[in-house]
Structure 1
Amino acid sequence: MIFSDADAAALYDLMYPWDPDRYPGDAFYDGLVMAADAVLDVGCGTGSMLHRARERGHTGRLVGLDPDRAALERARRRADVEWVEGVAADAAWDREFDLATMASNAFQCLVGDDELRASLTAIRAALRDGGLFAFETRHPQARAWEDWTPQNATEVVDAAGRTLRVAHRVESVAGDVVTFTETTSGPDGAVLRVDRTRLRFLDESGLRAFLTGAGFAIEAQYGDWHRGPVTAASRVVVTLARRL
């Protein structure tokens, strides 16, 4: 069985559908996007968030940025959104957006200090004065990676009717960086694809240090999608930062 990059992008949409009516996190971002005239979605993936904004009547400028070509090809099913291939650190917009987002834990893909600083500098430059940067990260105290085991694999039926199994396995935890694999297998157990990912887990103080160093002011940090405070039980840190 052939499992292409396009198949992987389509599978992502099946496993992680964007639906503000069902998921509080999606609703959180949807409210911010619909209230902003010009939006830059960094790490837009298959573009579901911006697709939904257009469907709900957003009439302003919407731009999605992502390095994954197959995901962007899927995003480009809508031509009334600007889609740009690339990474945040290489972005060159100058004060063009009211809102920048990094949803679905995309911020955690910024692993190295230099990459993180360069990305924040470019995102800040893309925002107008007072513009808002919104993103979420998994809180390291929750140790989410401990659940990323083959025993917790997910089965999903794709558009072709195939039952696929998606399993994760952690390879290493080095400081605040977790390296893991995602293995997609067919109904007969044959491995179709193995992807390796590194994610950085920063707590509130670590996030604040990078953001203030890049010229942002922290407006709020929430411990849930209902704008509650960060507590010892929080599994997420939702951050809102303003360009100074």
Structure 2
Amino acid sequence: MPDLIFSDTRLARIYDAFDGPRDDLALYTGIADEVGAASVLDVGCGTGSLAVLLAESGRSVVGVDPALASLEIARAKDSRVTWIHGDATSLPPLAVDLVTMTGNVAQVFLGDDWEATLRGVHRALRPGGHFVFETRRPERRAWEDWARTKPRVLVGVREQLELINVSLPFVSLRHIYSFPDGTAITSNSTLRFRSRAEVEQSLVRCGFKIADVRDAPDRPGREYVFLAQK
């Protein structure tokens, strides 16, 4: 079940404001150009930021997300994209050139659902198609930065981030959003931090070849960018 930060209607409406500039998306549009992708599936598309960019470049784009509230925001942005409420394990036949998964979506899969998602992505690709995604480096210990995060107010809403628990490979955190009408909505999240070796091994088990592992250009030294091929 998606976290409330994505699935609650009020939180979905303010998600883009708190997400801020998406400097990371240039990497994905660049890789789409690099591999010559004419068709793209964006897994965990959320409010549709990347899918819309890809559609604007003339590509055929499908966005899939299990959080209906986020998907409704995405649908309102661009009717050229095919928006699907669901996940990578239950897609119709696609055979796309490229699958993307941005924003560290890879870390929300905590157990067997990770490899189930990888197999779903593999089925969605044409032979020779590519899969690109990012994930935080465990050794960078991003949760230590989160613990020092100060509250902020945007679009009249106060956001507070709390670190709940660190029990590696799992890290749990809490977002609290306080609205001007006095309403407070709490969204709890748990992320899994996988090593580079763990990610590579899971990709190979699910039928992929590792084409490249890169540094995230917008967050150097903090994240791996994996490019795999069917």
Corresponding residue for residue 4 of structure 2: none
**Alpha-carbon separation, structure 2, partners of 1:174 and 1:205:** 19
Equivalent residues, number: 222
**Alpha-carbon separation, structure 2, partners of 1:171 and 1:240:** 32
One-letter code aligned to 2:70? A
Matched-pair contact (CA < 8 Å) for 2:134–2:216: no
Corresponding residue for residue 206 of structure 2: 214
Residues 32 and 165 of structure 1, relative CA distance in 2, 3 Å threshold: same
User: Per-residue CA shift, 1:141-177, capped at 9, x if unaligned?
Assistant: 11111222375223212xxxxx212121122222211
Dislocated runs of 4+, deviation >6 Å: none
Cα distance, 1:51 vs structure 2: 1.2
Matched-pair contact (CA < 8 Å) for 1:100–1:133: yes
Matched-pair contact (CA < 8 Å) for 1:176–1:200: yes
Q: Any idea what SS the aligned residue of 1:148 has? A: helix
Please report the TM-score for the alignment, with normalisation by the length of structure 2.
Answer: 0.88
**Alpha-carbon separation, structure 2, partners of 1:185 and 1:52:** 31
Corresponding residue for residue 82 of structure 1: 82
- The within-5 A match list for 1:91-170 is 91-93=91-93, 96-112=95-111, 114-149=112-147, 151-157=149-155, 163-170=156-163
Q: Which runs of 5+ in 1 are unaligned?
A: 158-162, 229-233
Identity of aligned residues (%): 36
Q: Any idea what SS the aligned residue of 2:110 has? A: coil
Cα distance, 1:15 vs structure 2: 1.8
**Alpha-carbon separation, structure 2, partners of 1:126 and 1:168:** 36
What is the root-mean-square deviation in Å for CA atoms of aligned residues?
2.3
Cα distance, 1:187 vs structure 2: 5.0
Residues 168 and 150 of structure 1, relative CA distance in 2, 3 Å threshold: farther
Corresponding residue for residue 160 of structure 1: none
**Alpha-carbon separation, structure 2, partners of 1:83 and 1:6:** 17
Corresponding residue for residue 165 of structure 2: 172
Match of 1:224 among 210, 213, 216: 216
Please report the TM-score for the alignment, with normalisation by the length of structure 1.
Answer: 0.83
Q: Which runs of 5+ in 2 are unaligned?
A: 1-6
Which deviates more from structure 2 when the two are superposed, residues 193-202 or residues 141-150? Answer: 141-150
Residues 80 and 18 of structure 1, relative CA distance in 2, 3 Å threshold: farther
Matched-pair contact (CA < 8 Å) for 1:150–1:167: no
Q: Any idea what SS the aligned residue of 1:76 has? A: helix
**Alpha-carbon separation, structure 1, partners of 2:148 and 2:92:** 41
Matched-pair contact (CA < 8 Å) for 1:177–1:198: yes
Matched-pair contact (CA < 8 Å) for 1:93–1:122: no
Matched, 1:196 2:188: yes
Corresponding residue for residue 16 of structure 1: 19
Matched-pair contact (CA < 8 Å) for 1:183–1:191: no
Residues 152 and 93 of structure 1, relative CA distance in 2, 3 Å threshold: farther
Corresponding residue for residue 225 of structure 2: 238
